[in-house]
């Protein structure tokens, strides 16, 4: 049959009849590597966290993007490249052994959401991410849109009243307001405690409470409340991943209270605890017992202009 077909084609060509060439088989377009696995750390007192995102290409090749993200300064550090599964497992084991903050696996969209938020922080600050991020930008641009951060349910008053317990957790040991911003208040608090004036314990406690209340009202305006609420909601997801339901509930209750504009910040135990700890740290700085650079919570802004 094939021989007969070839003879027929030959006769047609001899008569000057050319048949159209068969179309070339389509070339499969390579799609952008997609995020398939991700890990994030807890959030430190400056609002920074580490994130690892693994991208997989069409033929199974893996690329690891390692970032330090800050919710105010944006993308602080970025590194990575091609990685084998064996190497990834080795790096993960080493990281878990050295990491002080919680380190949990999450859905890739959760980590991508952090990158998107960091890029928005750059946009707001008029800065740009490190140059090393340029090679990763197309991968994040092609990634599926990340899910929004889940909103908390209405605050349970009983749980809100316990929200200051969060700052007793080792995970949140570095959480407090910027000490530099409350330095004068801390000095006033030290003077009140060291005063030789004979006053009742009740009067002394009232003065200290008034200083804390003033700091809370001044430092926890609408933007700051939303910032701390986001941190709490992100940490609630970390607590969920670690099967720490009680801590997750406390974090979500504190976040809900902060997002409730009708609730004065002074009525939120978590907010008062943030201010109290900041005053204590600022007092240690004033007394020379702690360096200001160690106490500082405010992250350095990225020097790269857009």
Whether residues 217 and 99 fall in one domain: no
pLDDT tens readout for residues 142-157? 999 999 999 999 989 9
Distance (Å) of CA 144 to CA 38, 88, 287: 14, 23, 51
Residue 27 lies in a domain: no
Distance (Å) of CA 271 to CA 62, 112, 155, 162, 221: 43, 29, 15, 12, 11
Percent of the chain with pLDDT over 70: 87
Residue 122 lies in a domain: yes
The range of the structural domain enclosing residue 44 comes to 34-142
Whether residues 119 and 206 fall in one domain: no
Whether residues 288 and 199 fall in one domain: yes
pLDDT tens readout for residues 6-47? 555 456 556 655 555 556 555 555 677 899 999 999 999 999
Whether residues 201 and 77 fall in one domain: no
Whether residues 168 and 288 fall in one domain: yes
Instruction: Please check the confidence at residue 165 and state whether its pLDDT lies above 90.
Output: yes
Whether residues 42 and 77 fall in one domain: yes
pLDDT tens readout for residues 71-110? 999 999 999 999 989 998 888 888 877 777 889 999 999 9
Q: What is the pTM of this model?
A: 0.85
pLDDT of residue 100: 78
Whether residues 214 and 113 fall in one domain: no
Residue 88 lies in a domain: yes
Pairwise CA distance, residues 264 & 49, whole Å: 29
Q: Map residue 273 onto helix, strand or coil.
A: helix
Whether residues 165 and 244 fall in one domain: yes
Q: What distance lies between CA 241 and its chain's CA centroid?
A: 15
Whether residues 126 and 181 fall in one domain: no
Instruction: Compute the average pLDDT of residues 50-59.
Output: 91
Instruction: Please check the confidence at residue 277 and state whether its pLDDT lies above 90.
Output: yes
Give the E-state strand segments of 42-147 in sequence order: 48-56, 62-70, 74-83, 103-106
107, 142, 177 - which closes a domain: 142
């Amino acid at each position: 049959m094939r021989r007969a077909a070839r003879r027929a084609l030959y006769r047609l060509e001899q008569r000057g009849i050319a048949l159209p060439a068969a179309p070339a088989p389509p070339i499969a377009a390579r799609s952008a590597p997609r995020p398939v696995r991700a890990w994030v750390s807890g959030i430190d007192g400056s609002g920074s966290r580490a994130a690892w995102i693994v991208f997989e290409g069409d033929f199974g090749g893996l690329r690891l993007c390692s970032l330090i993200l800050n919710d105010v300064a944006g993308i602080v550090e970025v590194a990575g490249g091609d990685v084998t599964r064996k190497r990834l497992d080795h790096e993960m084991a080493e990281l878990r052994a050295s990491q002080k903050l919680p380190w949990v696996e999450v859905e890739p969209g959760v980590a991508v959401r952090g990158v998107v938020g960091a890029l928005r922080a750059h946009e707001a600050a008029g800065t740009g991410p490190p140059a090393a991020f340029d090679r990763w930008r197309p991968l994040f641009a092609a990634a599926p849109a990340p899910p929004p951060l889940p909103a908390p349910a209405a605050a349970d008053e009983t749980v809100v009243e316990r929200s200051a317990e969060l700052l007793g957790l080792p995970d949140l040991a570095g959480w407090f307001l910027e000490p530099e911003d409350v330095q004068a208040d801390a000095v006033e608090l030290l003077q009140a405690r060291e005063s030789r004036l004979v006053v009742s314990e009740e009067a002394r406690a009232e003065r200290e409470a008034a200083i804390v209340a003033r700091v809370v009202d001044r430092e926890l305006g609408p933007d700051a409340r939303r910032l701390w609420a986001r941190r709490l909601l992100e940490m609630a997801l970390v607590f969920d991943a670690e099967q720490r339901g009680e801590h997750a509930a406390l974090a979500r209750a504190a976040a809900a209270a902060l997002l409730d504009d009708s609730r004065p910040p002074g009525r939120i135990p978590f907010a008062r605890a943030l201010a109290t700890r900041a005053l204590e740290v600022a007092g240690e700085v004033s007394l020379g017992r702690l360096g200001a650079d160690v106490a500082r919570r405010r992250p350095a802004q990225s020097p790269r202009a857009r």
